[in-house]
Chains A and B, each alone.
Chain A
């Protein structure tokens, strides 16, 4: 632990300014500040819709989010993209208001209102000056409870999304990420297709598809309302009750879909997507990682911090600071209700692509060896000591609450987070590295200038190379 080091704790300033400070060693930290996590008040409306309230009184603003536990991961086969498009359509007509009227009303209040889908939840998020909260809630209520799914607005959003998919072909990080998900999970598993779906599916959606999805997902028995900001539960609850209390589900909840088991990536393989003229190659390396409920959550956080989760991590130090191949290299475990990918990533200069791949694998092999105490303590301290600072804004806290809601985290999750991190040992880190990273079996996706990079990559003898076309990554041009 950081504070067990032999530093003298200085509580007060005793050095006179004229003397000049002692720069022979870094100043020791004072006592660790006390952690005051905000209280979460858990209540319910008359329709049993749970409400979580966190009071934060510094700035006169509020964040109010409706979370429904249905995300893109639950899109049925053949309807990949339905959650995302349904969320986007909520603001395109609700109750008697048109798309333009809703937007005008929200903008006039100085509010931000947006509905989006993640893998495991869809969320309608409202951020608003506290003085305008009442009016804004009424619009949010319309959008959540009474969307109308007008046909002409759907046509417009459809064309906008098809155009976005077309534009994805321009952007090397997008190409690499879409290709990476596809080679890991395949076309049948939901995680193998972007959350907004494919052009073919987007072309086929009808307003009824969206209405039917809406009815199954947006319902008080599938949701939690959360509010963070300059509010008191006592004054806020009656407002929420008026807006969301009368909301009723119109049918029985459909059974939850279970994602098929995705087979793990079997053997090391390079997938090359040609992007002629690219100044850099976008690299993604990894395989299927772990689900959010893993008992190894905390050791994985520490292990990944050492590997590629901080500026001083091994990947960034090696590829950026030592070799200068990149502006930044990192790694992450994307944890969802089902196992998301583990990914090491960087954009590397074209003529150093093969050298960079070699260094990636040096670090991916290196993390399997016992980690030195210094690395372990620095990573643990970094994750643990910065944690209290991540509860600062209404947005920060609401994101934490969303996680707790969606992944059903225990009540003491936030208050015990730091001690869980501090309990991680070198043996834990070694164990989870070996369990969740096998350099012999990882997928390597490179989106770059094939003419310049294929030869040097081939000469590395790292793995067989399969060339993917842009159409294989995105489907045919919309």
Chain B
């Protein structure tokens, strides 16, 4: 390590520093498609001697059948249990021996898998990723399914059933969408469906959705692109083509009125969830609703935080989010009451503030503050290459949603062009007070 000796430095005059706009986002990548249909995207970044592989299968809980909710996520767990040339346990053992980490996650529309390794172990990562794409079933047994079924049930217990307010999120989906809409049921699934999942389901799901043509792979980090391309071609050359599934076409099902529900939980304080159906990711209105969320609940000066938490002090916390997804998004406002206060008090203020935003829109300052924060978040998201939310994951997300892995500047431009009228218009159009879900969580009576 190079170390500079301590040096006494006295500034004689304070310098001035100009506030220049941040430079353009630069994330270069190359893209090609293998004969078996796998899309591959390469991105070079030599800051640390690490390589990440990031595989997205374009399937999530939205593809599940009735009676088998939670299956896409259970399947994700099975992808770490070994494959044709990897015995159970070896996937993690071999990666740990090389200094690697790995994980995966499932959402409604996609399942992602990443492996971070020191750059000298790139072939190990490609070997493991290609082996489970091509040869998963060769090592799969009903026993494997049983083992991960128990783990997933415990994930559900830990992250939903035993977590304060944990059942609110699954309930919201049920209220927002009709029973046959693919976002009606939670990604984690229902317990009886997890119990019912069988080895035969695994075979069918793998054949339907885990073909190379239904996936995209990003390899990023400390790589030489030409050599890496050859390595990807080598390790994925024997993975059979398979079939990509048909695109999903699901008719829009708008909310007809207010859907009210109250559930109880073992909590001290009541909480209100207001939710609306909103435009899908990257569609008109989506970006403006991100800004609406900021103006309502991002920071101390946001309208709901300032009134409910700062001024009136009748709420403990306030959140708002445009939860963007492929088929349909939802906009959610979540507020927890302070002791002695009710959700009715909270709802009154929430509605007043939505009404004001719909009537007069945000100020220029509010809009600019939100866009500045969003712009900063784009830079912050470029700091890490691997893992969840790293550059590789973002390249894959943009590729999946728009067909272009390097969509950073286009995405940011969606926010930079917004006017106060756009934000006001989005609040008017997408947050009607008479067409939404109002879910209340009340403390269980002792």
Interface code B129-160, partner A: CB below 8 Å = 1, 0 otherwise? 01100010000000000111111011101110
Nearest B-chain residue to A43, judged by Cβ: B7
Q: Does B3 contact A172, Cβ atoms closer than 8 Å? A: no
Q: Does A166 contact B339, Cβ atoms closer than 8 Å? A: yes
Q: Does B155 contact A327, Cβ atoms closer than 8 Å? A: yes
Nearest A-chain residue to B221, judged by Cβ: A389
Among A31-39, A291-299, A332-340, A433-441, the stretch that binds chain B is A31-39
Taking the closest CB of chain B, its distance from the CB of A36, in whole angstroms, is: 8
Chain A residues closer than 8 Å to B159, beta-carbon distance:
327
Chain B residues closer than 8 Å to A395, beta-carbon distance:
383
Nearest B-chain residue to A310, judged by Cβ: B96
Q: Does A385 contact B98, Cβ atoms closer than 8 Å? A: yes
Interface code B316-340, partner A: CB below 8 Å = 1, 0 otherwise? 1000000000000000000000110
Taking the closest CB of chain A, its distance from the CB of B160, in whole angstroms, is: 9
Given A104-B301, A395-B383, A170:B268 Cβ within 8 A: yes
Q: Does A60 contact B11, Cβ atoms closer than 8 Å? A: no
Interface code A316-329, partner B: CB below 8 Å = 1, 0 otherwise? 01001111111100
Q: With an 8 A cutoff between CB atoms, is B398 at the interface?
A: no
Query: 8 Å CB contacts to B: which residues of A1-31?
Result: 2, 10, 12-13, 15, 17-21, 23-24, 26-31
Chain B residues closer than 8 Å to A58, beta-carbon distance:
45, 47, 382-383
Q: Does A20 contact B85, Cβ atoms closer than 8 Å? A: no
Q: With an 8 A cutoff between CB atoms, is A347 at the interface?
A: yes
- What is the CA–CA distance of A394 and B338 in the complex, to the nearest angstrom? 37
Given A327-B158, A349-B154, A39:B2 Cβ within 8 A: yes
Q: With an 8 A cutoff between CB atoms, is B30 at the interface?
A: no
Interface code B372-385, partner A: CB below 8 Å = 1, 0 otherwise? 11011101101111
Q: Does A159 contact B338, Cβ atoms closer than 8 Å? A: yes
Interface code B1-30, partner A: CB below 8 Å = 1, 0 otherwise? 111111111110011010111110000000
Taking the closest CB of chain A, its distance from the CB of B169, in whole angstroms, is: 16
Among A128-136, A205-213, A259-267, the stretch that binds chain B is A128-136
Query: 8 Å CB contacts to A: which residues of B288-331?
Result: 298-301, 306, 309-310, 313, 316
Residue in A24, A32, A323, A327 with the greatest tally of chain B CB atoms within 10 Å: A327
Query: 8 Å CB contacts to B: which residues of A273-287?
Result: 275-280
Q: Give the total of B residues in contact with A, Cβ under 8 Å.
A: 107
Chain A residues closer than 8 Å to B388, beta-carbon distance:
none
Q: With an 8 A cutoff between CB atoms, is B190 at the interface?
A: no
- What is the CA–CA distance of A238 and B162 in the complex, to the nearest angstrom? 52
Q: Does A382 contact B97, Cβ atoms closer than 8 Å? A: yes
Among A70-78, A105-113, A184-192, A359-367, the stretch that binds chain B is A105-113
Partner among B120, B230, B377 whose Cβ is within 8 Å of the Cβ of A31: B120
Q: Does A237 contact B11, Cβ atoms closer than 8 Å? A: yes
Q: Does A312 contact B299, Cβ atoms closer than 8 Å? A: no
Chain A contact surface mostly: mixed
Partner among A18, A111, A323, A393 whose Cβ is within 8 Å of the Cβ of B237: A18
Given A23-B131, A43-B9, A381-B99, A280:B14 Cβ within 8 A: no
Q: With an 8 A cutoff between CB atoms, is B283 at the interface?
A: no
Q: Does A59 contact B382, Cβ atoms closer than 8 Å? A: yes
Q: Does A381 contact B301, Cβ atoms closer than 8 Å? A: no
Chain B residues closer than 8 Å to A166, beta-carbon distance:
268-269, 339
Q: Does B15 contact A21, Cβ atoms closer than 8 Å? A: no
Q: Does A17 contact B19, Cβ atoms closer than 8 Å? A: no
Q: Does A61 contact B383, Cβ atoms closer than 8 Å? A: yes
Chain B residues closer than 8 Å to A46, beta-carbon distance:
8-11
Q: With an 8 A cutoff between CB atoms, is B222 at the interface?
A: yes
Given A30-B120, A134-B19, A245-B11, A378:B93 Cβ within 8 A: yes
Given A166-B339, A392-B385, A109:B154 Cβ within 8 A: no
Q: Does B150 contact A59, Cβ atoms closer than 8 Å? A: no
Taking the closest CB of chain A, its distance from the CB of B339, in whole angstroms, is: 6
Nearest A-chain residue to B337, judged by Cβ: A163
Q: With an 8 A cutoff between CB atoms, is A430 at the interface?
A: no
Taking the closest CB of chain A, its distance from the CB of B78, in whole angstroms, is: 12
Q: Does B233 contact A17, Cβ atoms closer than 8 Å? A: yes
Band of interface residues on A:
35 or more
Chain B residues closer than 8 Å to A35, beta-carbon distance:
49
Chain A residues closer than 8 Å to B358, beta-carbon distance:
none
Q: With an 8 A cutoff between CB atoms, is B207 at the interface?
A: no
Q: With an 8 A cutoff between CB atoms, is A377 at the interface?
A: yes
Q: With an 8 A cutoff between CB atoms, is B235 at the interface?
A: yes
Taking the closest CB of chain A, its distance from the CB of B315, in whole angstroms, is: 10
Given A131-B20, A382-B97, A392-B383, A39:B158 Cβ within 8 A: no
Q: With an 8 A cutoff between CB atoms, is A468 at the interface?
A: no
Given A324-B147, A347-B162, A392-B48, A108:B372 Cβ within 8 A: yes
Beyond contacts A30-B122, A46-B9, A324-B149: 13 other A-B pairs, Cβ-Cβ < 8 A, are: A17-B237, A21-B235, A23-B84, A42-B4, A43-B8, A104-B369, A166-B339, A169-B268, A311-B96, A312-B89, A385-B118, A392-B383, A393-B384
List the interface of chain A (C-beta within 8 A of B): 2, 10, 12-13, 15, 17-21, 23-24, 26-37, 39-46, 50, 56, 58-61, 99-100, 103-104, 107-111, 127-135, 156, 159-160, 163-164, 166-167, 169-172, 233, 237-239, 241-242, 245, 275-280, 310-312, 317, 320-327, 347-349, 377-379, 381-382, 384-389, 391-395, 411-412, 414-415
List the interface of chain B (C-beta within 8 A of A): 1-11, 14-15, 17, 19-23, 45, 47-50, 84-86, 89-90, 92-94, 96-101, 116, 118-124, 126-128, 130-131, 135, 146-151, 153-155, 157-159, 161-164, 222, 227, 230-231, 233-235, 237-238, 266-269, 298-301, 306, 309-310, 313, 316, 338-339, 365, 368-369, 372-373, 375-377, 379-380, 382-386
**24 A-B interface contacts by CB (under 8 A):** A12-B227, A13-B227, A15-B234, A17-B234, A20-B238, A21-B234, A29-B121, A33-B222, A40-B4, A56-B47, A61-B380, A108-B365, A129-B376, A167-B267, A167-B269, A242-B11, A280-B158, A280-B162, A348-B154, A381-B98, A385-B98, A386-B116, A387-B99, A392-B48
Shortest beta-carbon contacts, A-B, top 10: A385-B99, A324-B150, A110-B376, A33-B49, A241-B11, A27-B123, A39-B2, A103-B300, A30-B120, A170-B164
